[in-house]
Chains A and B, each alone.
Chain A
Amino acid sequence: MNILVCISCVPDTTSKINFKEGNSSFESQGVQFVINPNDEFGLTRAIWLQQKSGAKVTVVTVGDESCDPILRKCLAIGADQALRINIQAKDGFQVASILSTICKDKNYDLIITGRESIDYNGGMVGGILATICGIPYLANCIHLEIDGNEVDLQREIDGGKETLKASLPVVIGSQKGLVEEKDLIIPNMRGIMQARQKPLEVISPNEIKPATEILTFQKPDKKGPVKLVDSDNIDELIKLLENEAKVL
């Protein structure tokens, strides 16, 4: 079985978000980049399939050479090989379209993308990629079991979950629940050493245009100070919520 895990390199969750060039682009100086958390849950699930049934796990990212350390980390976690499609994409549509070109070539049985990236939160790469390739997509995937060609799946929905069946190939949008936080693999020394020997191939992208363009960024307005209410005066809080905030 061949598995492709699509990895997005995103600012660490503690990053302060700043912009440059007249608020037209993200300031990446001084920002630590990490594997997008949703993708990491998917990568871990893929490694389990590799350990259980010998699946071959390829990780791919669309990005410039600044993403290489992240791909090396994925290799250290256990992926067999890495691909980097060398372009700084402009939007999720462009990323998905570029990824679809390699998916069509290589006939993966399972393609994993994160539910969404924590930078642009677009939540579109998996769905667009799958649909371009004519493969079904399952968003918000919290359960995946493969038996031969048959797949049992679960999707988290608002206020519950859905159980589904499909046959390979499928594309899933991974998130916490597919594996748990405690299951995430921290690379050990051996993994890190091995990762240096594993292939990391750089590919030039096809000419594909984005579907959207970001014009400007803006930070949220500064908010006023908190109104503190004494713990002996809960009536006051209720009054404020009722009359001032008007939310009760």
Chain B
Amino acid sequence: MKILAFIESQDGDVKKTGLEIASYSRSIADARGYELVGVGFNIDNTKILESYGLEKFYNIETKEDNFFNVESYSDSISLIVEKEKATIIIVSSSADGRYLGPILSVKINSAYISNVVGLPTKYDPVQVKCSCFTNKAYNEKKSLKDRVILSLSSNSFGLKEQNKTCEFLKSTYVSSTKSLKVTEVDRLKGEVSIADADIVVSGGRGLKGPENWNLIEDLADVLGAATACSKPVSDMGWRPHREHVGQTGKPVASNLYIAVGVSGAIQHLAGINSSKVKVVINNDPEAPFFKAADYGIVGDAFEVVPKLTEKLKARKL
């Protein structure tokens, strides 16, 4: 039996989530004695995959197709699923992973399970724990098909190195004829995205106005963190929509989440709940966020945050 891991990359480099997917897949392979095969597109630094337990890796060159094309990618992966007769396929919970998974599941006639937060608890058929109700609860789900795609929630497993000798292979890129084509990609240069960040610093209405966001940005800067915000902050146009986190915004699953001037409404907490450690800075000791946080400071953000930033800076030097 075989397990296939879809390893994501950007500009030729394996992404951290790609290594997490490899680590997770390796653990399943070890538990079951399966062979672990990987697939990725246009990856330059494939060598690193040997340190994360891959035994075979298909690197597909997309040639003139420079952008992510969900149809072509899923068609190309389908070929490998069939060739290797893989029965468990692992994808990430990135925007691309969650886009590709359902489409691939139709093409290879498999079940698709998203929001997976742990290793399978049973096999034949696969059974796993998933989050639901935007992290307000979990459920145990069973695949009713012989083949299953699992979309692993980011940062729920972590990285585990294990050296293997890996066979590097090429495979055909199937160029889709469907009408949908990417013409341009805008990535924010030099900014960490919320999905990829280890630390997220988030600001709420307590910051009073967009002109005060240097507080959040400076703190994020010394921590190498992504910036986020509450829903009203993005609705009022203080910050761009992409920073809106919570039940109706982006989910956050970082190692550390620092909330400044955010009250901790149920919809906000739902989305950030799977962050490992939560810190709140709020001048109202009754703010609901204190019930959800691990660490807290009751105080004025305008005094506390600059001091925290300075001290972190000094510590780095």
Task: Please name 10 further chain A to chain B contacts, defined as beta carbons within 8 Å, in addition to the given A121-B132, A137-B70, sorted by A numbering.
Answer: A118-B133, A123-B114, A125-B102, A127-B99, A164-B180, A177-B241, A215-B142, A231-B304, A238-B308, A241-B279
Among B99, B106, B186, B295, the residue within 8 A (CB) of A140 is: B99
A210 to B295 CA separation, bound complex (whole angstroms)? 43
A-chain residues with CB within 8 Å of residue B115 when the two chains form the complex: 121-122
Say whether A238 contacts B312, CB under 8 Å: yes
Say whether A122 contacts B114, CB under 8 Å: yes
Q: B292's closest neighbor in chain A, by CB?
A: A223
Say whether B101 contacts A245, CB under 8 Å: no
A138, A164, A177, A224 — most chain B CB neighbours (10 Å) = A164
Say whether B185 contacts A162, CB under 8 Å: yes
Among A124, A176, A210, A217, the residue within 8 A (CB) of B102 is: A124
Say whether A165 contacts B103, CB under 8 Å: no
Chain A contact residue count (CB 8 A cutoff): 79
Interface string of B203-227 (1 = CB under 8 A from A): 0000000000000000000010000
- In the complex, what's the smallest C-beta–C-beta distance from B20 to chain A, in angstroms? 14
- In the complex, what's the smallest C-beta–C-beta distance from B225 to chain A, in angstroms? 11
Say whether A127 contacts B102, CB under 8 Å: yes
Say whether B132 contacts A240, CB under 8 Å: no
A157 to B186 CA separation, bound complex (whole angstroms)? 9
B-chain residues with CB within 8 Å of residue A227 when the two chains form the complex: 294-296
Say whether B294 contacts A13, CB under 8 Å: no
* Chain A interface SS verdict (over half): mixed
A131 to B176 CA separation, bound complex (whole angstroms)? 13
A182 to B101 CA separation, bound complex (whole angstroms)? 32
* Chain B residues engaging chain A, CB cutoff 8 angstroms: 67-68, 70-71, 94-96, 98-99, 101-103, 105-107, 110-115, 127, 129, 131-145, 178-188, 191-196, 198-199, 223, 231, 235, 241-242, 244, 247-249, 255-256, 266-267, 270, 273, 276-277, 279-280, 290-300, 303-304, 307-308, 311-312, 315
Say whether A162 contacts B182, CB under 8 Å: yes
10 contacts between A and B (CB under 8 A): A124-B105, A126-B102, A142-B241, A158-B95, A159-B193, A164-B182, A176-B249, A177-B241, A181-B235, A231-B304
Q: A137's closest neighbor in chain B, by CB?
A: B103
